[in-house]
Amino acid sequence: MFSRSRIAAALAAATLCATPQPLTTIQDTLFKADGTRFNGTLTISWTTFEAVDRSQIMQQMTTVTVANGNLRVQLVPTTTATPAAYYTVVYNSDGRIQFRETWAVPSSQQPLRVRDVRFAVTGSVAAPDTSGTTVQESDVTGLISDLQARPLKGPGYATGRVAWVNPVGTLESVTGSPSDCVRVDGTAGPCGGVQPGFTDGEVPTGVVDGANATFLLAASPVPATSLILYRNGIRQQNGVDYTTTANTIQFVAAATPQPGDTLLASYRTSNAPDTGGQMYPGTQVLCSGLGASIASTGMSSVGSCSIPAGFLSPGDRVQVSFDLEHTGTAGGYSFEMHWGSTTLLHRDAEAGDTLATGRAEIGLKAGGAQAGHQSWGTVLPVNAGVALAVDDYVTNGIAIDFQARVSAGDSVVLRNFSVVRVP
């Protein structure tokens, strides 16, 4: 039988072995030479040693983050180890190793500073380490978030090509021949080609006698739906008022033009020469907005749109729409639409014309423009016409101005206007 003393000794030994090894706390504030606080990591490594309580401390390493200069780490003391042991500490900042040093950690119940554990290597001075030791991305403050914010390469990425952003947000390379043109959706194709032409304000050929219902255009509209046909300023509806076959217009019996009627047609054609490609294949709103209110008896601007030089090109087509509202009963009022120095539209409205509106379609050509327009009001009848303008819109740009005048005591306001370029 074991004596009580032997049992007590055995229990004491077991308790001693189960007691965790006391750790020493190293706590300090680290600065750089310029006085700013150190930010980075400390990589602490050691070889296998036996602690004072005979526990085996296996070779390993740990990484401690230092934020705003604040360092705190707990380590097993090494000054009482067998064999003699040390900690190798590597300082990392800004994505690279700055320097390394050796620590000898004594047992202490109070926190120690770095200077208390720093161990000077006899006969040498530690130099900055430039060996290129790998630094983990997570060790560099902010690196992972910065990397996630950058665009990534997609599966179609290649060097020496125009890049575009695919639907999932990664970079792809545009494929095609070196002479191709790149579109905004990342596709590529041949530049130039046969571009559509524009015909504005054409009077269809045919006798207007109330019996003839067949009229001819100078060319076939391409596409056929591009044809805009007016009879006495009223737009006719394809399939209801007339039908088309190639360049032939066939009116239905109920819409046959009568003596004194006027016909005007605008349409696109496909036989225009190659001018290097149509730059703007989609509809663009050049400007739009609300206008001003005036009570002037002389012509005054109620709104305008200025298009800069070089923005418009021959072959472009511009549509203008505007709406006016008249207040007062003192008398009538007048309104105009100007294309540069050219007055495209002028109407004199009655006092009862509470509302008035106007439309214009301007086809740009080399050295000027040709415009078709129509306008009407609450009482004011529909009126249509065509006009030519010689303003140099390419070199000087162009200003589209809306003007009006009223009788004394009345006012008129430009409720809305828009200027749109269409393909």
C-alpha pair distances (Å), 393 with each of 101, 212, 361: 74, 41, 16
Query: In the prediction, which pLDDT does 126 show?
Result: 44
- Same-domain check for residues 80 and 157: no
- Same-domain check for residues 163 and 130: no
From first to last of its 423 residues, the chain has per-residue pLDDT tens of 445 555 555 555 544 444 456 899 999 999 988 999 999 999 999 999 998 888 899 999 999 999 999 999 999 999 888 888 899 999 999 888 888 999 999 999 999 999 999 987 554 444 444 445 566 776 677 777 788 778 888 877 888 788 888 877 888 888 777 777 887 777 777 665 555 678 888 999 999 999 999 999 988 898 888 899 999 999 999 999 999 998 999 999 999 999 999 999 999 887 544 444 444 456 788 888 888 999 999 999 999 998 888 778 888 899 999 999 999 989 999 999 999 999 999 999 999 999 999 999 999 988 889 999 999 999 999 999 999 998 988 888 899 999 999 999 999 999 999 999 886
- Same-domain check for residues 60 and 158: no
- Same-domain check for residues 174 and 246: no
Look at residue 106 and tell me if it is in a domain: yes
CATH number of residue 354's parent domain: 2.60.120
How far is it, in rounded angstroms, from Cα 276 to Cα 317? 17
How many Cα neighbours within 13 Å face the side chain of 76?
27
- Same-domain check for residues 58 and 80: yes
CATH number of residue 84's parent domain: 2.60.40.3390
- Same-domain check for residues 256 and 199: yes
Look at residue 278 and tell me if it is in a domain: no
Each residue of 64-80: b (16+ CB within 10 Å) or e?
A: bebeeeebebebbbbee
- Total domain count, the chain: 4
- Same-domain check for residues 252 and 318: no
Look at residue 374 and tell me if it is in a domain: yes
- Same-domain check for residues 260 and 294: no
Look at residue 144 and tell me if it is in a domain: no
Query: In the prediction, which pLDDT does 278 show?
Result: 46
3-state helix, strand, coil in the chain (%, to 5): 10, 45, 45
Look at residue 147 and tell me if it is in a domain: no
Look at residue 309 and tell me if it is in a domain: yes
- Same-domain check for residues 22 and 131: yes
> Residue 209, exposed/middle/buried by CB under 10 A (0-12, 13-18, 19+)?
exposed
- Same-domain check for residues 15 and 109: yes
How far is it, in rounded angstroms, from Cα 355 to Cα 405? 14
- Same-domain check for residues 417 and 288: yes
Look at residue 279 and tell me if it is in a domain: no
- Same-domain check for residues 335 and 401: yes
Asked if residues 263 and 231 have their Cβ atoms less than 8 Å apart, the reply is yes
- Largest Cα span, the chain: 140
How many Cα neighbours within 13 Å face the side chain of 100?
18
Domain boundary among 248, 272, 296: 272
Q: How many helices (H) and strands (E) does the chain have?
A: 4, 31
Look at residue 145 and tell me if it is in a domain: no
Domain boundary among 228, 246, 272: 272
Query: In the prediction, which pLDDT does 21 show?
Result: 66
Name the 3-class secondary structure at 10. helix
| Measured distance between the N- and C-terminal CA atoms of the chain, rounded to whole angstroms | 109
Identity of the residue numbered 28: D
Domain range for 309 is 284-422
Strands, E assignment, 252-382: 263-272, 284-289, 293-294, 300-307, 317-327, 333-339, 342-349, 355-365, 368-377
How far is it, in rounded angstroms, from Cα 365 to Cα 315? 6
